[in-house]
Amino acid sequence: MSLVRNFATVGGATLLSRFLGFARDVLLAAAVGAGPVGDAFVVAFRLPNLFRRLFAEGAFNSAFIPLFGRTVEEGGEDEARRFAGEIGSALLFCLLVLTALAQIFMPFVVWALAPGFVGDQEKYDLTVLMSRIAFPYLIFMSLLAFIAGILNTYHRFAAAAFAPVMLNVVMSLVLGGVLAAGIHDDTTLGIILTCGVTLGGIVQLLVVVIDLKRLGFRIPVFRPRYTKSAARLLALGIPGVVAGGVTQINIAVGQVIASMQEGANALLYFADRLYQLPLGVIGIAIGVVLLPSLTRQLRAGEMTAYQHSLNRALEFSLVLTLPAAVALAVIPHEIVSILFQRVRFDAAAVEGTAAALMAFSFGLPAFVLNKVFSPGYFSREDTKTPMIFAAIGMVVNVALSIALFPFFKHVGIALATSIAGWVNTGLLIAVLWRRGHFLPGSGVLRRLALVFLASLLMGAGLHFAAIWLAPYLGDAWLAVRAASLLLLIASGAVVFAAAVQLSGGADLIKLAKALTRRNT
């Protein structure tokens, strides 16, 4: 299967998940708005996700896949099963211990992540309760990441990519039931929502377990113990936790500061959900597919193929990311108002979310490029260098968040996150280039410049088209507004496609053909 086709498989599944996620968030905005339950839900839901992306996805994407891939190549199937059994047992044991500690010390955890809630005892208590209910989600998602690492090594990407769809299906059903039943009590609403999160985690895990069974790969069960395999994974995984989870760490820092502003966490959450669409579809898809490919090429000594894969991932990602970033910066108000403005999500919430979305859009290319270039280090089992760069990015994020918050409130947090993302990604690219592990040709750089210019041209077109469509995007019926937004986006896509194809920035026809054939 070609690299582009694999990107499309994971990206398509992620796109479906994100669209269903929008349906979920539209229902969430209607059910809780940007009030206290919204703030509490954001913290409660983000807490297990933070640990998941730091300790599960971060560690396994950066450390487990290269080690497991080496075991498969050098030790064969039996050795791979033994390795997976040892790591899986240790992982589950650590997750159970972490969950137990979190349940006991949850009031302190919430105080650390949202200190601004302490002044509102009712909201603080609700957040603690919701966080306790939602935290077991971490167990199911971490085991999912573990099994997905095995499946991805065997080039089975679809099940792990489609699993998140099930969370959005479950949560949409829960939120639809809440709205239909007319539930308004904050505590009842919070309990129902977080129970839905945990149930969604169970369903997601079942999806990859079923695919693992179809693969015929059985993971043996061992007593948890500290083996050489676990020690090696730990040595690589600790730096990978920081490097792979830098975006989540920056978001967590922003959450702490945003808790000082009423409703800010909810505003940042909805803005984050919008820019996470292209980040998830493009960045995560590339990160998932690229690491196993680079690892295999390095093991085989195929350096030409390695450089081709890295350059192809760079071009493919920016062809999709740059126009998306420009669009989010040019028409954020139109997007937010049509998607979310209803029931308890008012005009003030739209303005606050749109401003944050514009600030996040500036960092979107950086976050995607992070997913492209981090595998260049991880495939060589170098997790320490990205960890150092991630730490530098975190320092920049914290300093700027504190400095900008008094002047720009939650928008300053979003802007600080974007700037920190560029600092981290810039260091990744510079050092990889200096070491000779990334060698972009002059043709690649020229094409990327043309893609950037085509994106700017598209942005200008979107601006004037939005002015022309303003009567239909504003006070018209929702169906008319939604259709007008789709027309606006489609017109921007046409302008970009024509500009980038005619200028030679990218051969979109060739890319489309690559999606339909099995070999490049």
Query: What is the C-alpha to C-alpha distance for residues 350 and 332, in angstroms, rounded to an integer?
Result: 9
Side-chain-facing half-sphere of 225: CA atoms under 13 Å:
8
Q: Which amino acid is located at 14 in the chain?
A: T
> Where does the pLDDT of residue 519 fall: very low under 50, low under 70, confident under 90, or very high at 90 and above?
very low
Q: Are residues 481 and 417 in the same domain?
A: no
Does the structure show a pLDDT above 70 at 54?
no
Same domain, 432 and 478: no
416 and 504 part of one domain = no
Q: For residue 364, is pLDDT > 50?
A: yes
- 5-19, 165-179, 266-280, 376-390: segment of lowest average pLDDT: 5-19
- Asked if residue 156 and residue 63 are part of one domain, the reply reads yes
Query: Are 368 and 463 found together in one domain?
Result: no
Q: Return the structure tokens found at 2.
A: 């070609």
Q: Which domain holds residue 479?
A: 444-520
pLDDT at position 204 is 92
Average pLDDT for residues 49-72, to the nearest whole number? Answer: 69
Contact 414, 360 (CB under 8 A): yes
- Greatest mean pLDDT among 227-236, 338-347, 376-385 lies in 376-385
Residue 224 has what DSSP assignment?
Answer: -
* Residue 144 and residue 210 in one domain: yes
Q: What is the pLDDT of residue 162?
A: 83
CA distance 302 to 67: 19
Do residue 247 and residue 197 come from a single domain? yes
Confidence of residue 38 (pLDDT cuts 50, 70, 90): confident
Is residue 253 within 8 Å of 117, Cβ to Cβ? no
pLDDT number for residue 1 = 43
Could you tell me if 172 and 194 lie in one domain? Answer: yes
Average pLDDT over residues 4-26: 70
Residue 207 scores a pLDDT above 80: yes
User: What digits encode the pLDDT tens for the residues 264-309?
Assistant: 777 887 888 787 777 766 666 666 667 667 777 777 778 888 888 8
Closest CA to 167 of 23, 338, 353: 23
Could you tell me if 193 and 308 lie in one domain?
A: yes
The model's pTM is 0.69
Which of 405, 440, 475 is a domain's end point? 440
User: For the chain, how many structural domains are there in total?
Assistant: 2
Q: What whole-number distance in Å separates Cα of residue 362 and Cα of residue 365?
A: 7
Nearest to 9 by CA among 156, 141, 209: 156
- 511 and 397 in a common domain: no
Count CA within 13 A, CB hemisphere, residue 396. Answer: 21
Distance of alpha carbon 206 from alpha carbon 229, whole angstroms:
26
| Model confidence band, residue 456 (pLDDT cutoffs 50, 70, 90) | very high
Boundary residue ending a domain (406, 440, 474): 440
93 vs 55, higher pLDDT: 93
Considering only CA atoms, which of 257, 236, 213, 243 is closest in space to residue 405?
257
87 pLDDT higher than 50: yes
Mean pLDDT of 14-22: 73
At 345 the three-state DSSP class reads strand
Q: What is the pLDDT of residue 394?
A: 85
* 440 sits in which H/E element: none
- Per-chain mean pLDDT for the chain: 82
The percentage of residues in the chain with a pLDDT greater than 90, rounded to a whole number, is 25
Q: Which residue has the higher pLDDT, 475 or 513?
A: 475
Contact between 115 and 256 (Cβ < 8 Å): yes
Nearest Cα residue to 466 out of 297, 337, 376? 337
Beta carbons within 8 Å of 359's beta carbon, 6+ residues apart: 411, 414, 415, 417, 418
Binned at pLDDT 50, 70 and 90, residue 520 comes out as very low
pLDDT in tens, 499-515: 988 888 877 777 666 55
How confident is residue 450, by pLDDT bands cut at 50, 70 and 90?
A: very high
For 389-400, what is the mean pLDDT?
88
Among residues 440, 462, 482, the one where a domain terminates is 440
pLDDT digit string (tens) for 488-499? 999 999 999 999
Q: Which residue has the higher pLDDT, 477 or 428?
A: 428
Same domain, 403 and 468: no
375 shares its domain with 480 = no
Per-residue CA distances from 327 to 19, 173, 322, 463 (Å)? 17, 31, 9, 9
Q: What is the average per-residue pLDDT within 170-183?
A: 87
